[in-house]
């Protein structure tokens, strides 16, 4: 076969050679240990916790040692494309404070975008240069088989009980002569371009995964499709050319890609490229209450897999990052306990410490981390965080919540325990925060979260007495002394010691009386200092709330 002739026939318009691109995209000049990593999503619009997990690892690996983290859009599959998906990816990652250095999202002529274009559909010319070179070297050939022929082959293979697929003797178009190919092309038959696999059945490749360690997998033997009928490459082919030309040194990606490694291994080999290091991440798992075992997080069953879920409820990006770091690197938690105030970027992140088995997603743990991280914010930082969340997610309520800056800051100071010996840790995420403090605003029309433990008449009697004696000028102590008076008048112990000594002598204690007022004003039994709350709400609103309970 005259391969050069075939290559010219198939790619009459390709003028550039691989050498041209090798020169155009030279090795990057970076410090010795620097890694070039990438996120290479298909623009399907769905971005999940697993993507953020890998992206954070990529970002850390690149930025630990002065490397580059870039975004490439793998849009070769037109059917899966969703409008606006690229913006979604960039925005979501930016929300979690993960920034790219280069790639999609930057202007084409931006100085850092020297290895572009970063959308695969704009790189077809480049793939064709490499495809042509494979044909020239006898490593790729056109295949004219349609669905029907492929189906026949499959049936034959099933009958013979052999591996199904397009390979070896079953690869019908492997042995077409140049004349046969010319005739088919002249007749206008369409074709895909296939790899002429050099692999052999029964042989293995040994591959050193940066996360999983040494892995043995069967060699690829399939004549996989490199270019589809319309000349657009398949993911496998495009990613090999791209990772090479963009000078990627390390690929961190989901474990579902591990099975593709033999194919990629062969592609890099026949293309004459050095393979980047690959690290396949463990699946994110969760406890399944139904079975009592572990299972993979699923798109269908688990809303918490979607990153939108965390944005909509207003999880603080730093808490999410800290949480993911605990999943990513087993020694992170210990380090962070030692240095709770250090920036995460100072943690010596290593690929070697990445979890090999399924990382367990644990919401309680995430919530604990949220509490701790939010307790590090100042009230102004909290205010700004809540404001941008509310404006995006609760625009109507936001107008009410943020109408009086001083009032909201006072609420935040109180709830965050700012100025107290120890900070309070009531806050978990934005939506939960506004549920907690909603009673300060008229937006909250919900029922009481905690019910009264005393009967209705007793509650009303206590509250009437309370309103009668109430004076807004009382300081905290005077106010509390009045509560004690109410306790005494209604058969509750005003003194806790007396109550503990003789609990049966009383209906309850001062704390039950305070709880009645607390629930009447705030709808919950658990709040920071009640006097302070009343002084933020104001006397009129307090009276209105209490009168609403008395009925």
Alpha-carbon distances of 301 from 30, 52, 292, 305, 313, rounded to whole Å: 44, 19, 16, 9, 18
Q: Which of the residues 176 through 235 are near ligand GLU (CB under 6 A)?
A: 235
Nearer to ligand GLU, 47 or 514 (CB): 47
What is the smallest separation between the CB atom of 104 and ligand GLU, expressed in angstroms?
Answer: 12
Give the span between the Cα atoms of 173 and 171, in whole angstroms: 6
Nearer to ligand GLU, 243 or 515 (CB): 243
Residue 218's Cβ-side half-sphere holds a number of Cα atoms within 13 Å equal to 7
Q: Which of 42, 112, 388, 432 binds ligand GLU (CB under 6 A)?
A: 42
Among residues 251 and 454, whose Cβ is nearest to ligand GLU? 251
Nearer to ligand GLU, 90 or 520 (CB): 90
Closest to 515 (Cα-Cα) out of 507, 498, 527: 527
Q: Which of 239, 244, 296, 321 binds ligand GLU (CB under 6 A)?
A: 239
Could you tell me how many residues of this chain bind ligand GLU (CB under 6 A)? 9
Give the nearest distance from C-beta 278 to ligand GLU in angstroms. 9
Residue span binding ligand GLU (CB under 6 A) among the ranges 249-257, 305-313, 368-376, 422-430: 249-257
Residue 242 Cβ, how far from ligand GLU at the closest point, in Å? Answer: 9
Asked if 253 touches ligand GLU (CB under 6 A), the answer is yes
Measure the CA angle with vertex 486, ends 481 and 491; round to 5°. 125
Instruction: Supply the minimum distance, in Å, between the C-beta of residue 251 and ligand GLU.
Output: 6
Q: Could you tell me if residue 80 is left (phi over 0), alpha (psi between -120 and 50 degrees) or otherwise beta?
A: alpha
What are the tokens at 434? 């506004």
Cα–Cα distance measured from residue 433 to residue 307, given in angstroms and rounded to the nearest whole number: 19
Q: Which of 241, 173, 150, 220 is nearest to 10 (CA)?
A: 173
**The one among 25, 257, 287, 480 contacting ligand GLU by CB under 6 A:** 257
Q: Return d(Cα 228, Cα 216) in angstroms, integer.
A: 30
* 56 lies in the site for ligand GLU, by CB under 6 A: no
Task: Of 403, 391, 489, 474, give the one whose Cα is nearest residue 442.
Answer: 403
SS3 annotation, 258-271? HHHHHHHHHHHHHH
Binding to ligand GLU (CB under 6 A) within 1-40 occurs at 40
CA atoms within 13 Å, Cβ hemisphere of 465 = 19
Question: For ligand GLU, what does the binding mask look like between residues 67 and 106, x meaning CB under 6 A?
Answer: -------x--------------------------------
Nearer to ligand GLU, 123 or 413 (CB): 123
**Run of H or E including 501:** helix 496-501
Q: Cβ of residue 16: shortest distance to ligand GLU, in angstroms? A: 25
Helix (H, G, I), strand (E, B) or coil at 373: helix
**Element (H or E) spanning 171, and its range?**
none
Nearest CB to ligand GLU, comparing residues 41 and 199: 41
The smaller minimum CB distance to ligand GLU, of residues 194 and 253, is found at: 253
268 binds ligand GLU (CB under 6 A): no
Q: Which is nearer to ligand GLU, 8 or 80 (CB)?
A: 80
CB of 280 to ligand GLU, least distance (A): 10
> How far, rounded to the nearest angstrom, does the alpha carbon of residue 452 sit from its chain's CA centroid?
41
How far, CA to CA in Å, does 223 sit from each of 166, 197, 265, 495? 6, 5, 14, 86
Residue placing its CB nearer to ligand GLU in the complex, 132 or 239: 239
Residue 212 or residue 536: which is nearer to ligand GLU going by CB?
212
Which of 41, 142, 314, 317 binds ligand GLU (CB under 6 A)? It is 41
The helix (run of H) or strand (run of E) holding residue 182 is helix 178-186
Whole-number Å distance between alpha carbons of 444 and 446: 6
Region from 250-258, 383-391, 502-510, 536-544 binding ligand GLU, contact rule CB under 6 A: 250-258
Nearer to ligand GLU, 239 or 318 (CB): 239
User: Contact positions toward ligand GLU, by CB under 6 A?
Assistant: 40-42, 74, 235, 239, 251, 253, 257
């Amino acid at each position: 076969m005259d391969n050069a002739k075939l290559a010219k026939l198939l790619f009459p318009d390709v003028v550039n050679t691989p050498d041209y691109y090798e020169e155009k995209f030279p090795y990057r000049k970076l410090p010795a240990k620097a890694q070039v990593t990438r996120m290479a999503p298909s623009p399907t619009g769905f971005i999940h916790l697993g993507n953020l997990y890998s992206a954070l690892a990529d970002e850390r690996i690149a930025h630990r040692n002065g490397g580059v983290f870039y975004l490439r859009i793998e849009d070769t599959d037109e059917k899966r494309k969703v409008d606006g998906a690229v913006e979604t990816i960039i925005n979501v990652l930016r929300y979690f404070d993960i920034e790219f250095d280069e790639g999609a999202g930057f202007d084409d002529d931006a100085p850092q975008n020297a290895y572009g274009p970063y959308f695969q559909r704009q790189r077809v010319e480049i793939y064709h240069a490499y495809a042509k070179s494979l044909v020239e070297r006898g490593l790729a050939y056109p295949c004219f088989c349609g669905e029907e022929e492929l189906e026949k082959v499959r049936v034959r293979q099933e009958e013979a009980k052999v591996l199904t697929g397009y390979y070896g003797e079953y690869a019908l178009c492997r042995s077409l002569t140049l004349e046969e190919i010319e005739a088919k092309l002249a007749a206008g038959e369409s074709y895909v371009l296939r790899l002429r696999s050099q692999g052999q059945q029964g042989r293995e490749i040994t591959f050193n995964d940066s996360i999983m360690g040494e892995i043995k997998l069967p060699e690829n033997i399939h004549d996989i499709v490199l270019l589809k009928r319309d000349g657009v490459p398949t993911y496998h082919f495009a990613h090999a050319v791209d990772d090479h030309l963009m000078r990627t040194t390390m690929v961190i990606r989901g474990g579902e890609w591990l099975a593709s490694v033999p194919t990629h291994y062969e592609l890099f080999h026949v293309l004459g490229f050095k393979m980047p290091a690959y690290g396949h991440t463990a699946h994110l798992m969760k406890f399944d209450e139904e079975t009592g075992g572990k299972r993979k997080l699923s798109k269908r069953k688990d809303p918490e897999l979607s990153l939108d879920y965390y944005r909509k409820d207003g999880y603080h990006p730093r808490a999410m990052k800290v949480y993911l770091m605990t999943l990513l690197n087993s020694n992170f938690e210990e380090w962070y306990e030692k240095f709770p105030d250090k920036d995460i970027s100072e943690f010596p992140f290593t690929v070697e410490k990445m979890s090999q088995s399924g990382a367990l997603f644990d919401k309680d743990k995430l919530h604990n981390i949220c509490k701790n991280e939010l307790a590090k914010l100042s009230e102004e930082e909290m205010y700004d965080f809540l404001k941008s969340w509310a404006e995006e997610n609760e625009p109507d309520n936001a107008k009410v919540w943020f109408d009086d800056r001083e009032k909201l800051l006072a609420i935040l100071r109180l709830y965050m325990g700012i100025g107290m010996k120890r900070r309070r840790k009531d806050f978990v995420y934005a939506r939960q925060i506004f549920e907690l403090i909603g009673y300060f605003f008229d937006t909250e029309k919900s029922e009481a979260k905690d019910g009264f433990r005393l009967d209705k008449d007793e509650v009303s009697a206590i509250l009437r007495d309370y309103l009668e004696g109430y004076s807004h000028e009382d300081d905290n102590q005077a106010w509390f002394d009045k509560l004690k008076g109410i306790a005494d008048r209604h058969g509750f112990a005003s003194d806790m010691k007396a109550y503990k000594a003789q609990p049966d002598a009383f209906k309850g204690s001062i704390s039950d009386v305070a709880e009645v007022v607390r629930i009447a004003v705030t709808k919950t039994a658990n709040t920071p200092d009640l006097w302070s709350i009343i002084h933020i709400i104001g006397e009129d609103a307090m009276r209105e709330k209490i009168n609403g309970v008395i009925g």
